[in-house]
């Protein structure tokens, strides 16, 4: 679990960055120049990072903007625009020292006034401003110091602050009043915006005034020592999977995301192409409404749980590129636990039918609410429906578009039983971020207003507030077990997303965003 | 002339009023809202609530209606929720893309459609005529997205001659524009080529039977002259009316073509806006496109009444 | 998107309506080459639609993952898709859906298009109001209007039918209206008015029967556009809900495999083309035979 490592870091504060830093020379681009064209699957509407939670925005924006703190390659919290930070002994004050010499793309130096303004704006339009509910205020005592004061100690605060889900990017103070979605795209990152055609492409160029973080010698996660090697980078929106494959083959695109599994065999044979798999991209999942009958009946939910064959579901969802996975974290994460594994991938029709009988199931329809916009969700629902039919459940599909399905789920309208989605960013951020989904208001299993499962709420409180990280981890394990045993969720498994680059592209490592820094063309 | 234009524009006003009312009503009735798109897949329920509040989606319909018409009267069409830009400026960015693509398709349509129609009419009932009409029939029967897919597979994937999609502005790089626009323009134009060829042929045949053509021939004018000067010029006049309808068809067809070839034009913009519930964008954008088409049709009608010999000879 | 096209082709010939003795008309139709070839092509689709339960007994939505991505061959005539579903079954059942959707749209147009067109054309007091709404509906780019309506109604087969009917009825109404306006001024109609016949009787006995010819031609083209537009809507993800095997859905689901398994998009695409071409040829034949002025040209 992330915070297991975080707390010692928090206490050791200022030392952390200076430790383990090598004396060797930092990364230098082996070759400089060229234009890298990346085929992005999803349309991007806005580059206003604080106001947008979509992957497509983050993909691009996080090459332009930087944050005080972020996560490294292994998801540990690290400083980026902050030089260091300290936590006061009473755990009520965090003091950040800013890195010197950092300039925005408009040439102005970054100071604590900009950080203050960025936090102010985030507090108005930032999608995760809920993380500030325990914050008493912030201040900029001098040009290179930024202070956050807490109302009460919150062991998980740094974990939230460094989250890359909707990062608190640092923008010039003059843009602090930009309304949501209308942020001027000026950051401190190695890339600066050239032009942006919504629905078409986003073009970036190297920012020559970039000041890398010399505490590191290599890029790590969203931070580290970053260098722009290409002259320009173009994110081109290519929604057709076939067109992305073709573009990569012909060299029209130098990198693409989301290659269909079916094309991989052939692409692997092509020596001009390097395949970059990105395992654990998201947890494919179905969430019940425990207020809509008949899934208000635990025994019926258990029958469904017992019937499912996760291999078959995940195979269809991903065309075969997946890993079976218990629960809400991935095995490569410190917080991973397989408690509740006895509820996973049971595929026992006899047992399922027995539960059905106990539940007194009388052929009421079970409606699977899915969408066509995300193929994997649609495919998973299609196969799950087949498996339910096989044990004698009357399973119906309700296929709508993504906004409609979210609307129906959020309002908990009648007439649906399972909502299909994927948990992408949150599991990667850690257990705390993921388990938020099961907490009020409007928890994902739809308990109804004020009727949240008290055991779940207790576990959540413990996850947040217990001082010892071990206890917090135990609380997470307890919460996962509860959710699985009460069938508040049906996590199917982990989906692998596959990216690909041309073979002459070096330094491209799979990560949650396509990082354009420290990547270069071989000559 | 001026009074004609004025009359037509005034006549279009009630149409535009109804159009604006329909677009407004339609968007309010669509289930779901943009919070799920802004929030993306990983938005927590609490976040969705917060986005909805931020966007003021809870305002009563009447307030929203007043705001819509108030803005419309001032030429302010509102601001796209998802893009943050105002609707007019987004439209002015995207419309030229669609217009350029449609213009390219229109050129293809006019050249191929007129040529094959005229040729077929002059060689009526020969093999050439039949072949041309068979191709025209094929043109109006092949779905443009199917043709687009086939072209992508063949010309982009197998042969690698043209890019699979994307768009380069004409002013940025004319050759790049040609490369990215040719397949979309062809797939967009083919239906219209077939239509125009068929109409041109039948109009030509009709003109060729007219008395003045017989007279011209009887006077011993060379056949070339008869065809070029008398027949063609007279046949082209009714065909003018067709251009307005063709432009409307092209804009409509561009919806699928732009989606298929990832071209950032109006069609793709509005389809996405509907799917993403970007209310102001759909309302304003659909209104502008429709107004644009209405204007084109007025223009075509005015041209027609200027060209029509029945008007001229009065 | 294409009904404007029908409009345009029909506008090219002012409807001059004559009562055809039905038998003579049929006789001429069955001697008409275009009509017959259209009938042949559409006949294939119609036969597939009607015989679907017998010639494609496999459930078109039944998953069989172990058979996925089989190319067309002896085992699966049209191959299988990414779920191992038989494309033969899906395309044949898709034919049935296309025919149902097309004929429903045609039926709705025949009823409401005639009603609105006749009212507007006959009662001049209604004309202005009806035609302004009509013009407004027609001013929208057709496919965008259909997308909007299906978004409102939610994606389903029935809603796709309704959306297409709403898009096309104004166009049909306009054709009926223009015939009615011409016919209303005819001497025999004026004579009937003078003789004191009621409006309803005049419309039913004297006007509508003579306005049928251009309507029938329009409806035959409309059938083609309805099938085509439904496929387009499905392809954009706004038509019938998958896994319903409409051709547009099959192609939409198959497009991401267009390079590795091209048969998934090609076969329904060809079926769609055959249907549309057959109906267009039928329409051409009907127009030649029912419209006397064009017949002279033959």
User: Nearest CB to B271: which of C2, C147, C294?
Assistant: C147
Q: Do A246 and B156 touch (CB under 8 A)?
A: yes
Q: Which of A512-516, B247-251, C19-23, C279-283 has the lowest mean pLDDT?
A: C19-23
**A268-287 pLDDT, tens per residue?**
999 999 999 999 999 999 99
* pLDDT at A175 exceeding the cut of 60: yes
C90 in any annotated domain: yes
Residue with tokens 């803005």: B71
Q: What structural domains does chain A harbor?
A: 2-238+503-521 (3.40.190.10), 280-497 (3.10.105.10)
Burial of B224 (C-beta count, 10 Å sphere; 0-12/13-18/19+)? exposed
Contacting residues of C for B152, CB less than 8 Å apart:
258
**A102-159 pLDDT, tens per residue?**
999 999 999 999 999 999 999 998 888 888 989 999 999 999 999 999 999 988 899 8
Q: Do C65 and A315 touch (CB under 8 A)?
A: yes
Q: Looking at per-residue confidence, does A2 or C5 come out higher?
A: C5
Tokens standing for residue B48: 């969705």
Smallest CA–CA distance from A319 into chain C, residue: C82
C82 in any annotated domain: yes
Q: Do C260 and A399 touch (CB under 8 A)?
A: no
Q: Give the pLDDT mean for A17-43.
A: 78
> Cα distance from C180 to chain B (closest Cα, Å)?
23
Q: Which of B163-172, C84-93, C128-137, C245-254 has the lowest mean pLDDT?
A: B163-172
C189 in any annotated domain: yes
Choose from C7, C8, C255, C269 for mutation: most chain B CBs within 10 A. Answer: C8
Q: For residue A28, what pLDDT is reported?
A: 92
Confidence of residue C15 (pLDDT cuts 50, 70, 90): very low
Contacting residues of C for B191, CB less than 8 Å apart:
2, 5
Q: Which helix (H) or strand (E) holds C190?
A: helix C187-194
Sign of CA dihedral A41, A46, A47, A53: negative
Q: Do A250 and B156 touch (CB under 8 A)?
A: yes
User: What's this model's pTM, rounded to 2 decimal places?
Assistant: 0.82
Q: Among residues B281, B35, B275, B32, which one has the least CA distance to residue A127? A: B35
Q: For residue B1, what pLDDT is reported?
A: 65
Q: For residue B42, what pLDDT is reported?
A: 67
Query: How open is the CA angle B119-B114-B248, to the nearest 5 degrees?
Result: 155
DSSP strand pairing (A35-40 vs A255-256):
parallel
Please state, in angstroms and rounded to a whole number, the distance separating the CA atoms of residues A402 and A423: 15
Q: Looking at per-residue confidence, does C7 or C227 come out higher?
A: C227
Please state, in angstroms and rounded to a whole number, the distance separating the CA atoms of residues C72 and C78: 4
Decide if B173 contacts C296 (C-beta within 8 A): no
Q: Do B205 and C297 touch (CB under 8 A)?
A: yes
Confidence of residue A1 (pLDDT cuts 50, 70, 90): very low
Alpha helix (H) ranges present in A189-240?
none
Please state, in angstroms and rounded to a whole number, the distance separating the CA atoms of residues A8 and A130: 25
Interface of C with A in 139-198 (CB under 8 A): 151, 154-155
| Bond prior to A294 in cis (omega within 30° of 0) | yes
- Classified as helix, coil or strand, C63 is coil
Q: Do C82 and A262 touch (CB under 8 A)?
A: yes
Smallest CA–CA distance from A164 into chain B, residue: B42
Residue B154 CB coordination number (10 Å) = 14
Please state, in angstroms and rounded to a whole number, the distance separating the CA atoms of residues A385 and C63: 10
Q: Do B149 and C269 touch (CB under 8 A)?
A: yes
Choose from B42, B92, B162 for mutation: most chain A CBs within 10 A. Answer: B42
Contacting residues of B for A410, CB less than 8 Å apart:
36, 45, 48
Tokens standing for residue C272: 């769609």
DSSP 8-state code for residue B86:
B
Residue C138 lies in domain: 42-52+59-275
User: Nearest CB to B41: which of A52, A410, A422?
Assistant: A422
Q: Which of A69-73, A385-389, B298-302 has the lowest mean pLDDT?
A: B298-302
Q: Among residues C234, A122, C278, which one has the least CA distance to residue B146? A: C234
Q: Looking at per-residue confidence, does B79 or A462 come out higher?
A: A462
Burial of A90 (C-beta count, 10 Å sphere; 0-12/13-18/19+)? exposed
Smallest CA–CA distance from C271 into chain B, residue: B142
Count chain A–chain C contacts defined by CB atoms under 8 A: 55
Smallest CA–CA distance from A440 into chain B, residue: B46
Query: How open is the CA angle A311-A165-A379, to the nearest 5 degrees?
Result: 25
CATH code of the domain containing C252: 1.10.3720.10
Interface of C with A in 250-279 (CB under 8 A): 252, 255-261
Choose from B50, B81, B84, B145 for mutation: most chain A CBs within 10 A. Answer: B84
Tally the domains of chain C.
Answer: 1
Contacting residues of A for B167, CB less than 8 Å apart:
200
Neighbours of chain C (3+ CB pairs under 8 A): A, B
The full set of domain ranges for chain B reads 2-73, 96-264
Q: Which fold has domain B96-264?
A: MetI-like fold (1.10.3720)
Q: Which of A268-272, C16-20, C121-125, C226-230 has the lowest mean pLDDT?
A: C16-20
Confidence of residue B74 (pLDDT cuts 50, 70, 90): confident
Please state, in angstroms and rounded to a whole number, the distance separating the CA atoms of residues B95 and B87: 11
Q: Which of A422-436, B190-204, C26-40, C100-114 has the highest mean predicted lDDT (pLDDT)?
A: C100-114
């Amino acid at each position: 679990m992330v915070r297991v490592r975080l707390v010692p870091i928090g206490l050791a504060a200022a030392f952390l960055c200076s430790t383990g830093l090598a004396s060797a020379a930092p990364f230098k681009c082996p070759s400089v120049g060229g234009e890298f064209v990346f085929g992005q699957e999803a349309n991007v509407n806005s580059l206003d990072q604080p106001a947008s939670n979509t992957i497509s925005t983050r993909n691009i924006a996080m090459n332009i903007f930087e944050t005080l703190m972020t996560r490294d390659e292994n998801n540990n919290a690290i400083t980026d625009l902050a030089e260091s930070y300290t936590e006061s002994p009473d755990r009520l004050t965090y003091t950040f020292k800013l890195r010197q010499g950092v300039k925005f793309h408009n040439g102005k130096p970054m100071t604590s006034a900009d950080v203050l303004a960025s936090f102010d704006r985030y507090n108005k339009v930032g999608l995760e401003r809920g993380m500030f509910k325990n914050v008493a205020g912030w201040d900029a005592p001098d040009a290179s110091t930024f202070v956050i004061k807490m109302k009460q100690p919150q062991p998980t605060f740094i974990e939230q602050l460094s989250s890359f889900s909707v990062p608190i990017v640092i923008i010039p103070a003059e843009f602090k009043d930009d309304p949501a979605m209308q942020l001027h795209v000026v950051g401190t990152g190695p890339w600066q915006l050239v032009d942006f055609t919504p629905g078409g492409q986003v073009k970036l160029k190297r920012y020559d005034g970039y000041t890398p973080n010399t505490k590191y010698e290599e890029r790590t996660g969203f931070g580290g020592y970053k260098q722009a090697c290409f002259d320009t980078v173009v994110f081109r929106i290519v929604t057709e999977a076939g067109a992305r494959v073709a573009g990569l083959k012909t060299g029209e695109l130098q990198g693409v995301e989301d290659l269909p599994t079916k094309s991989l065999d052939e692409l692997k044979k092509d020596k001009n192409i390097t395949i970059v798999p990105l395992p654990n991209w998201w947890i494919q999942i179905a969430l019940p409404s425990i207020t809509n009958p008949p899934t208000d009946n635990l025994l019926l939910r258990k029958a469904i749980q017992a019937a499912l064959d996760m291999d078959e579901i995940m195979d269809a969802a991903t065309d075969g590129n997946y890993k079976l996975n218990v629960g809400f974290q991935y095995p490569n994460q410190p917080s991973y636990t397989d408690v509740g594994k006895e509820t996973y991938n049971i595929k026992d029709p006899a047992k399922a039918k027995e539960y059905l009988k106990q539940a007194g199931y009388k052929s009421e329809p079970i409606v699977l609410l899915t969408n066509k916009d995300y193929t994997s969700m649609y495919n998973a629902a299609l196969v799950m429906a087949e498996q339910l039919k096989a044990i004698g459940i009357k399973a119906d599909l309700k296929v709508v578009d993504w906004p409609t399905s979210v609307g129906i789920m959020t309002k908990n309208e009648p007439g649906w039983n399972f909502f299909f989605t994927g948990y992408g960013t949150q599991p990667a951020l850690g257990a705390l971020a993921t388990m938020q989904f099961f907490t009020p208001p409007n928890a994902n299993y739809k308990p109804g207003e004020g009727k949240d499962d008290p055991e779940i709420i207790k576990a959540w409180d413990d996850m947040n507030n217990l001082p010892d990280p071990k206890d917090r981890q135990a609380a997470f394990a307890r919460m996962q077990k509860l959710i699985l045993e009460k069938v508040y969720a049906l996590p199917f498994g982990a989906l692998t997303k596959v990216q690909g680059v041309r073979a002459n592209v070096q330094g491209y490592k799979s990560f949650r965003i396509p990082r354009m820094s420290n990547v270069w063309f071989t000559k | 002339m001026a009074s004609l234009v004025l009359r037509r524009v005034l006549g279009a006003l009630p149409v535009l009023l109804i159009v604006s009312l329909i677009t407004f009503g339609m968007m309010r009735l669509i289930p779901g809202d943009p919070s799920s798109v802004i929030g993306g897949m990983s938005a927590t329920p609490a976040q969705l609530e917060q986005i909805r509040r931020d966007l003021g989606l809870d305002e009563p319909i009447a307030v929203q209606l007043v705001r819509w018409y108030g803005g419309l009267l001032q030429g302010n069409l509102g601001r796209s929720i998802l893009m943050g830009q105002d609707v007019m400026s987004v439209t002015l960015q995207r419309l030229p893309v669609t217009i350029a693509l449609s213009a390219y398709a229109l050129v293809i349509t006019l050249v191929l459609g007129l040529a094959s129609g005229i040729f077929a009419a002059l060689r009526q009932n020969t093999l050439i005529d039949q072949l041309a009409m068979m191709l025209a029939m094929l043109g109006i029967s092949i779905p443009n997205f199917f043709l687009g897919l086939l072209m992508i597979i063949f010309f982009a994937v197998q042969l690698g001659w043209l890019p699979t999609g994307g768009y380069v502005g004409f002013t940025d790089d004319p050759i790049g524009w040609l490369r990215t626009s040719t397949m979309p323009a062809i797939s967009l134009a083919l239906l219209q080529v077939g239509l125009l060829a068929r109409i041109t042929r039948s109009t030509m045949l009709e003109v060729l039977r007219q008395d003045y053509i017989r007279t011209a021939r009887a006077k011993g004018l060379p056949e070339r002259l008869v065809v070029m000067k008398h027949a063609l010029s007279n046949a082209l006049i009714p065909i003018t009316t067709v251009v307005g309808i063709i432009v409307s068809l092209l804009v409509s067809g561009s919806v699928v073509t732009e989606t298929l070839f990832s071209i950032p034009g109006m069609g793709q913009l509005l389809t996405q806006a509907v799917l993403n519930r970007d209310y102001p964008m759909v309302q304003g954008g659909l209104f502008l496109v429709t107004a644009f088409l209405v204007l084109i049709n007025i223009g075509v009608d005015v041209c027609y009444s200027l060209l029509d010999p029945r008007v001229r000879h009065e | 998107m294409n009904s404007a096209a029908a409009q345009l082709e029909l506008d090219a010939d002012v409807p001059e309506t004559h009562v055809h003795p039905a038998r003579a008309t049929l006789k001429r139709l069955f001697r008409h080459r275009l009509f017959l070839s259209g009938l042949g092509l559409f006949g294939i689709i119609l036969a597939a639609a009607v015989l679907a339960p017998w010639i494609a007994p496999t459930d078109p939505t039944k998953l069989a993952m172990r058979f996925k991505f089989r190319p067309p061959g002896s085992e699966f005539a049209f191959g299988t898709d990414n779920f191992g579903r038989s494309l033969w079954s899906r395309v044949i059942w898709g034919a049935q859906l296309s025919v149902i959707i097309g004929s429903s749209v045609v039926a709705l147009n025949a009823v409401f298009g005639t009603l609105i067109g006749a009212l507007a054309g006959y009662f001049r007091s209604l004309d202005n109001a009806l035609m302004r709404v009509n013009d407004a509906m027609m001013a929208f780019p057709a496919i965008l209007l259909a997308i909007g309506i299906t978004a409102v109604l939610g994606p389903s087969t029935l809603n796709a039918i309704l959306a297409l009917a709403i898009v096309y009825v104004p166009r049909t109404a306009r054709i009926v209206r223009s015939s009615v306006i011409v016919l209303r001024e005819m001497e025999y109609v004026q004579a009937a008015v003078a003789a004191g016949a009621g409006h309803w009787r005049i419309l039913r006995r004297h006007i509508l029967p003579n306005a049928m010819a251009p309507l029938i031609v329009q409806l035959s083209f409309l059938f083609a556009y309805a099938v085509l537009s439904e496929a387009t809507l499905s392809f954009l993800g706004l038509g019938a809900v998958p896994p319903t095997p409409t051709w547009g859905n099959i192609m939409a689901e198959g497009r991401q495999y267009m390079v590795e398994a091209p048969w998934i998009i090609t076969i329904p695409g060809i079926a769609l083309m055959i249907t549309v071409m057959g109906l267009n040829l039928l329409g051409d034949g009907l127009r030649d035979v029912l419209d006397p002025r064009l017949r002279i040209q033959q």
